Amino acid sequence: MPKKIDLSEQVEDYLRYSQVERGLSNNTITAYRQDLTSFISFLQQENFTSWPTQALDIDAFLAEQRDQNKATSSISRLITSLRKFYQWLVRQNIQKLNPMLEIDSPKKRHTLPVALTINEVNKLLQQPDTKKKLGLRDRALLETLYATGIRVSELINLKFTDLHEELKLVKIFGKGSKERLIPISAVALSWIDSYKEKVRDPLILKIGRNNDFIFLNSRGGSLTRQAVWQIIKHYCKLAGIQKNVTPHTLRHTFATHLLENGADLRVVQEILGHSDISTTQIYTNLSQKHILQVYEKTHPRT
């Protein structure tokens, strides 16, 4: 059995090298330590035992940081810290692959979040093969994300006790352990019920060990954020969707489609669990863009 790698120990080796060999300041070393410690925390949470070699995994970490409302400058610093660290790992022959070569620094200018069209959403939802066990689970998972606009962290922690099917409501525990009650569509509930009956309950019976969470992996364990990322990327590729789609993209899409169809901004704020309405207002820009496109397409004098 290979020896378990101590990630923290390798970080300390790198920081010693940076201070002694490169002569970096104490402030820079402190910043690097803070960034790499955050990265290790994410890896431990996702059950990594070694440094990731795929850009997808780095993207998942950076997306989590953005979801915590980290500033663009902080994300840029994180990327710089990881880029320097991975260069060192490769030079030390600790890593052969450097996923940071595929990671771009965030643009300084403000960009609107990516959202899917209704047609793209329909294509995405139709990709899982629901005749297969994991396909049925994935359809229920995608339907739930689009029906509720919940964060990926909220999705993987969702329990059956949180569902109130007769009221078509679901209880969500969001950031800071804040609780909110939000609507869920009858369509999503139907797919969850089908998944529970045909896949989840037989799996639990087979392994003889219960798990309170709704969405499980093939071994009956809880899904990770990374797994949800990979599921979405896989089906987007099958659907031929060229946009950079993440679990958060479905959250953006959910909010955009509600506003485009006349939802009140305050209602969307409550559903998304934003404490400040200014966070929700970015979606009005997306909605206004849609209105302009419709106007230009349909007005006879444009």
Q: Structure tokens of 97? A: 């692959």
Instruction: Specify the pLDDT at position 157.
Output: 92
Look up the domain containing 28 and give its range: 7-102
Is 248 annotated in the active site?
Answer: yes
Instruction: Specify the pLDDT at position 277.
Output: 75
The low-confidence residues of the chain, meaning pLDDT below 70, are: 1-5, 106-112, 175-177, 282-295, 298-302
Residues 234 and 134 placed together within one structural domain of the fold = yes
Question: What is the dihedral sign for C-alpha 215, 217, 222, 225?
Answer: negative
Residues 56 and 156 placed together within one structural domain of the fold = no
User: Do the domain assignments include residue 241?
Assistant: yes
* Last residue in a domain, options 54, 69, 102: 102
Q: Which of 151, 225, 252, 257 is the catalytic position?
A: 151
**48-100 per-position pLDDT tens digit:** 989 999 999 999 999 888 888 787 888 889 999 999 999 999 999 999 999 99
User: Do the domain assignments include residue 110?
Assistant: no
Is 16 annotated in the active site?
Answer: no
Residues 122 and 269 placed together within one structural domain of the fold = yes
Q: Which of 175, 198, 289, 290 is the catalytic position?
A: 175
Residue with tokens 């329909």: 122
Residues 134 and 267 placed together within one structural domain of the fold = yes
Distance of alpha carbon 83 from alpha carbon 141, whole angstroms? 33
Instruction: Specify the pLDDT at position 5.
Output: 55
The model carries a pTM of 0.64
Residues 98 and 136 placed together within one structural domain of the fold = no
Question: What is the domain count for the chain?
Answer: 2
User: Do the domain assignments include residue 109?
Assistant: no
Distance of alpha carbon 88 from alpha carbon 93, whole angstroms? 9
Distance of alpha carbon 209 from alpha carbon 293, whole angstroms? 52
Neighbouring CB atoms inside 10 A of 167's CB total: 10
**Cβ contact 244:120 at 8 Å:** no
Is 283 annotated in the active site?
Answer: yes
Long-range contacts of residues 62-65, Cβ cutoff 8 Å, at least 24 apart:
62/103, 63/229, 63/246, 63/247, 63/248, 64/153, 64/225, 65/38
